[in-house]
Structures are given as C-alpha cells and as structure tokens.
C-alpha cells in the first residue's frame, strides 16, 4: 500500500513564496500505479479499486511504466462533481462497473507525481502486501520518505 500525505485543517492559510493551493474536488482520493505489466488503482484506505474504474485503468495504461500519481477520482453530473456517484462507482461489481463507466464516466485530477517512468515489474500479491507495510510516500509539501518504492 502506498500511503499519501493528508490535508490538514488550519484556521488561516499560510502565505509564503512557492506555496500553491489546489481545489478540493468532491471525490475519492486515488493513487494510480502504472507498472510494466499493468495498472493498479488504490483508494486512500489501501483497497485496490481497479475493477471499479475500468475507464480510469484504461486511460492509465497510456502512462509510462513506473509512473505513480496521487489524485482524486470524480464523477461529473450536471456540471459539478457528485460524491454519491463516485461512491456508487467504487462499490460496483466488475460487471456493473463496465456499465457505469459508460453512463457515469470517471475523471481523474492528478495533483502529485510520486514517480515518473522508473519502470519496475509488478509484485505478486503476497509480496506486494508484505512490501506495502513499509512503504510511505509524501506529497510535494513534505520530503519523500526514503522508503518509497
């Protein structure tokens, strides 16, 4: 599992050179991992949700192998993002997900590039689970951990 930095509530926004702010979308946090073999979509909880978003997985296959993105999956409805529709997509069975991908297509707003093009093979599920317990990645607002994949 890749752990990402979380937003923190503050009473006032810090102001300093080099700081940037991004919009908060009404969606689910999602890490996209493009390996040499395929794509993995991981929810913030660590749950693998690739089957629930076949449209995003297909788009992510166009990324260079070794790319890891941190962002938000959203579903647009009547000109705005709709959280309930993202939840519906995330809970779908693989068969239902294919239908929902057509009627409620997902969009992905990437706000951090954690890796770019450092190709590595996918790990078998058992090794991936063992490795995940020690992997941590941070956003651009914090230094990257030396334990990041």
Catalytic residues: 24
Please state, in angstroms and as integers, the Cα–Cα distance from residue 143 to each residue in 13, 35, 40, 133, following that order.
20, 23, 24, 19
48: DSSP letter: B
Q: Are 138 and 31 in contact (CB under 8 A)?
A: no
Helix and strand element counts for the chain (H, E)? 4, 5
6: DSSP letter: -
3-state secondary structure of 8: coil
Q: Are 94 and 51 in contact (CB under 8 A)?
A: yes
47: DSSP letter: -
Residue 64: half-sphere exposure toward Cβ, Cα within 13 Å: 8
């Amino acid at each position: 599992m890749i752990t990402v930095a979380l937003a923190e509530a503050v009473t006032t926004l810090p102001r300093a050179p080099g700081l940037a702010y991004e919009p908060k979308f009404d969606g689910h946090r999602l890490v996209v991992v493009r390996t040499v073999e395929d794509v993995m979509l991981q929810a913030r909880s660590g749950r693998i949700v690739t089957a629930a978003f076949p449209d995003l997985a297909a788009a992510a296959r166009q990324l260079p192998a070794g790319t890891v993105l941190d962002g938000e999956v959203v579903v647009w409805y009547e000109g705005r993002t709709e959280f309930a529709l993202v939840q519906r997509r995330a809970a779908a069975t693989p068969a239902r997900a294919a239908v929902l991908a057509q009627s409620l297509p997902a969009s992905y707003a990437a706000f951090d590039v954690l890796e770019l093009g450092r190709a590595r093979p996918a790990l078998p599920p058992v090794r991936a689970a063992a490795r995940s317990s020690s992997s941590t990645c941070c956003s651009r607002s914090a230094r990257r951990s030396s334990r990041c994949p």
